[in-house]
Chain A
Amino acid sequence: MAPSTTIPLSPAELSYLHTSLSQQPPIRPDGRAPTQFRPLVAETDILPSANGSARICFADGTEAVVGVKAEVEPSPTTTTSHGVAGEEGADRGVRNQSDESGARDAMAAEGTGQGRNAWLDLAIEVPGMRDDDALPVFLAAMLTEALLAERGLKDRLYINARFHWRLYVDILLLSLPLSYPLPLLSLTTHLALLSTRLPALVSEKDEDPLFNDDWEAATHLYPRSTSTSTNNQNKTTKAPQKPPVTLLVMSVGASTILFDPTREELAVADAVLAVSVVAGEAGAMKVVALRTIDPPSRLTSAGVPNALNSTSTATSTSTSAAGSQSLSAADVLALREKDQGQSVWRPPRGGVSRQLVARMIKCVVEKGGVGEEVMEGLGGVEV
């Protein structure tokens, strides 16, 4: 899905950018290193009426606010391995519990199936675009995919067999989408989820959920430490540590890999990848989702090579159509192909080699790589 940005750069400027980014080491317009990010401003807990919230401003002026709200919803009664369709009753409750724990242990071996994908509802609002435009829909799909890739979040939303939390993540892009807003929205969602708290449960087992009125007793959605806490719902699956982060990685030419691309750099990209990573155990990063993005460079128009430039080759004022200057369509095509983008800019064609994709992913997940740096940077934000 092509990001819809109209790029006001001429073929000469595009060619210039492409050449400077293809150098070794690449020369970026603002002089950054290939893995250097622009400074950003981040703050959390800005909304008093939301369970969690965050706001991030990027250096180019784009800004996003994310608010997370949670509501209790009744779960549809199902005849799953819990034994029988859900029925109230204290005596049944005891039997139900043993059934449940038995079933739970059986499921625990493969990772519990308590959470459901439908319990997470993510909505993106972009000013000037309707809700069913391509960009919001595509961005929402990518962010949801990354969040649901791990079971931890869904399972955390389970209350008991009859009720669960429904998590609404509402993302608001406050400025017009100048550059592809995916990393901005992903980082803001990450911080908002980290700051989200759910009220503490005081009811037991399958009765109607009752919560502690004291907000100070509320527990974080992503708990801080993995130390054995007595209110762990499940012994085998750990609660998720941190939500995933989606980064935009682009490549130019055969060897240049760049992070945090600006709008101009994206305009000459040969390949753009969205890599979603999550911090696993012991700080190792794990890829949870990977998507290719159609680079906006494909929407640019090619420059005109000198051989085809009618203003430079026209010498006679003859209006005869059968002059030596007029070429057939096939000749024009042949000339352009032979040129191969050497003398003038040509939008990139074709895909990206698997080795390059592997290198791009490795840059993100390796120890001391970009993924860790970003997580460290975000960890510095007070949540």
Chain B
Amino acid sequence: MPLDTSTYALAHLRLDGRRWNELRHLHAQISTQASSDGSSYLEQGNTKILCTVSGPQEQRRNAPGGRQQQAGAGSDTEAQIVVEMNLAAFSSTDRKKRARSDKRVQEMQFTIAEAFRGTLFTNLYPHSTITITLHVLSQDGSLLTACLNAATLALVDAGIPMSDYVSAVTVASAPSSDQSLDEVDPLLDLNGLEEQELPFMTVGTTAAGTGEGVEGEAKIMVLVMETKVQMGRLEAMLSVGVDGCRRVRGLLDDVVRTQGRRVMENKIS
């Protein structure tokens, strides 16, 4: 699809039948694992992530091999956030067992930890560690996005105080390069095929602001772009991305409120 512009130009429908600003089906559950402090399961299209959070807990003995990255300096003033991402061997189309020191994975782990260092109130828990474990069961595009969303939900479930949700979305530059810049619509929420073909970026924002927060000013916590795109398109992509994040935040909030309602009903009845 991405390189075959004829069909897109005709009906403006992507391969999976979505329009340029439609998100994939997002389904999330919170508190899925009774044995962990916080857990969540999130599906964005075919990308399925399971996240568990443990902590804040006592500082573990020095990281056993292979875990060099640790975001959050100075553990005597604030909690340390450790992110572990585990890509299952069956997550992609080809079965591939991943080595622990995969650079791409380490980069994503660091990005996620940094993103949450900005929202979690880590100064309340000095000398402790918050561990976020992400199990990727199936990946079909927007991996970092889904990980951030799943981690947000799991952290909410764990009851760790935070200033706001971190919601993320991917946005790509339009399919063809010969259209004039004005008519071009950036594409929102990419699947695996689109990610391989188009230049895209991942945007993660909070909606910290006044009142309800949703109408407040969004702060960008994550902005990752590994491909090249024309400068003129960047602003459009960013604004579409931020708007998409707001919609995702609404969906995540619904999940949390549904769970809250369920808990209240159990307590009252």
Q: Is the CB of A65 within 8 A of B137?
A: yes
Q: Which of A45-53, A75-83, A320-328, A375-383 is the interface stretch?
A: A45-53
* Residues of the B chain whose Cβ atoms lie less than 8 Å from the Cβ of A69: 89-90, 95
- Using a CB-CB cutoff of 8 Å, which residues 50-80 of chain A contact chain B? 50, 53, 57, 60-63, 65, 67-69, 71
Contact, CB under 8 Å: B90 / A67: yes
In the assembled complex, A123 has its CB within 8 A of some CB on chain B: yes
Question: Shortest Cβ distance from B107 into chain A, in angstroms?
Answer: 21
Say yes or no for B61: interface residue by CB 8 A criterion: no
Closest to A66 in B: B90
Which residues of the partner chain A approach B137 to less than 8 Å between Cβ atoms? 46-47, 65, 67, 172
CA distance A61 to B31 in the complex (A): 11
A residues 11-56 with Cβ under 8 Å of B?
A: 46-50, 53
Interface size on A, residues (CB 8 A): 27
Least Cβ–Cβ distance between B52 and chain A, in angstroms: 7
**Chain B positions 124 through 137: 1 when the CB is less than 8 Å from some CB of chain A, otherwise 0:** 00000000010101
In the assembled complex, the Cα of A200 lies from the Cα of B64 at a distance in Å of: 46
Given A49-B138, A71-B95; A175-B35 close (CB under 8 Å): yes
Query: Is A61 within 8 A of B36, CB to CB?
Result: yes
**Binding site of B, secondary structure by majority: helix, strand, loop or mixed?**
loop
Residue among A62, A67, A123 facing the most chain B CB atoms (10 A cut-off): A67
Does B88 lie within 8 Å of A60, measured CB to CB?
no
Question: Which A-chain residue is minimally distant from B88 (CB atoms)?
Answer: A172
Does chain B have a CB within 8 A of A168? yes
**Residue A130 lies at the interface, judged by CB distance under 8 Å to chain B:** yes
Chain B residues with CB under 8 Å of A46's CB are 48, 137
Q: Would A60 and B35 count as touching, CB distance under 8 A?
A: yes
Q: Which residues of A contact B64 (CB under 8 A)?
A: 130
Interface residue B34 (Cβ < 8 Å from any Cβ of A): yes
Q: Kindly list chain A residues whose C-beta atoms are within 8 Å of the C-beta of B32.
A: 63
Taking the complex as formed, is A314 at the interface, i.e. its CB lies under 8 A from any CB of chain B?
no
Return A71 CB to nearest CB of chain B, in Å.
Answer: 6
By the criterion CB–CB under 8 Å, are B84 and A127 in contact? yes
A174–B88 contact, CB under 8 A? no
Contact call B138/A125, Cβ cutoff below 8 A: no
A127 contacts B133, CB within 8 Å?
yes
Chain B CB within 8 A of A178 CB: yes
A176 interface residue (CB < 8 Å to B): yes
Contact A174 to B33, CB < 8 A, known contacts A47-B138, A71-B95, A168-B95: yes
Chain B CB within 10 Å, residue with most, of A127, A174, A178: A174
Distance between Cα atoms of A50 and B93 in the complex (Å): 8
Please judge, given known A-B contacts A49-B93, A168-B95, whether A125 and B52 are in contact too, CB under 8 Å. no
With an 8 A cutoff between CB atoms, is B86 at the interface? yes
A127 to B83, CA, bound (A): 12
Indicate the size class of the contact surface on chain B. 20 to 34
A-contacting residues, B183-238, CB 8 Å: none
**Inter-subunit contact A48/B33 (CB<8 Å):** no
Q: A50 is contacted by which of B90, B97, B135 (Cβ under 8 Å)?
A: B90
Is there a chain B Cβ closer than 8 Å to A170's Cβ? yes
Tell me, yes or no, whether B46 is within 8 Å of chain A by CB.
Answer: yes
| Inter-subunit contact B90/A168 (CB<8 Å) | yes
Q: Which of A57, A61, A130 contacts B65 (CB 8 A)?
A: A130
Query: A71 vs B140: C-alpha distance in the bound complex, in angstroms?
Result: 20
Q: B91 at the A/B interface (Cβ < 8 Å)?
A: yes
Q: Are A170 and B65 in contact (CB under 8 A)?
A: no
Contact with A along B245-257 (1 / 0, CB 8 A): 0000000000000
Segment 26-76 of B: residues with Cβ below 8 Å from A: 32-36, 46, 48, 50, 52, 64-66
Question: A71-B95, A127-B84 in contact; A47/B90 too (CB < 8 A)?
Answer: yes
- Which residues of chain A are near B97, meaning CB under 8 Å? 123, 170
B90 and A62 within 8 A (CB): no
**What residues of chain B lie closer than 8 Å to A67, measured between beta carbons?**
88-91, 137
Interface presence of B106 (CB below 8 A) = no
- Contact flag A62-B35 (CB < 8 Å), given A123-B97, A127-B133, A172-B135: yes
Q: Would you list which residues of chain A between 170 and 187 have a CB under 8 Å from chain B?
A: 170, 172, 174-176, 178
A174 cross-chain contacts in B, Cβ below 8 A: 33, 50, 52, 135
5 A-B pairs within 8 Å (CB atoms) are namely A67-B137, A68-B90, A168-B89, A174-B50, A176-B36
A interface list, Cβ under 8 A from B: 46-50, 53, 57, 60-63, 65, 67-69, 71, 123, 125, 127, 130, 168, 170, 172, 174-176, 178
Q: With contacts A67-B89, A67-B137, A175-B33 known, what are 18 further pairs, Cβ within 8 A? A: A46-B137, A47-B90, A48-B138, A49-B140, A53-B90, A61-B36, A65-B88, A65-B137, A67-B88, A69-B89, A125-B86, A127-B84, A170-B89, A170-B90, A170-B95, A172-B88, A174-B52, A175-B36
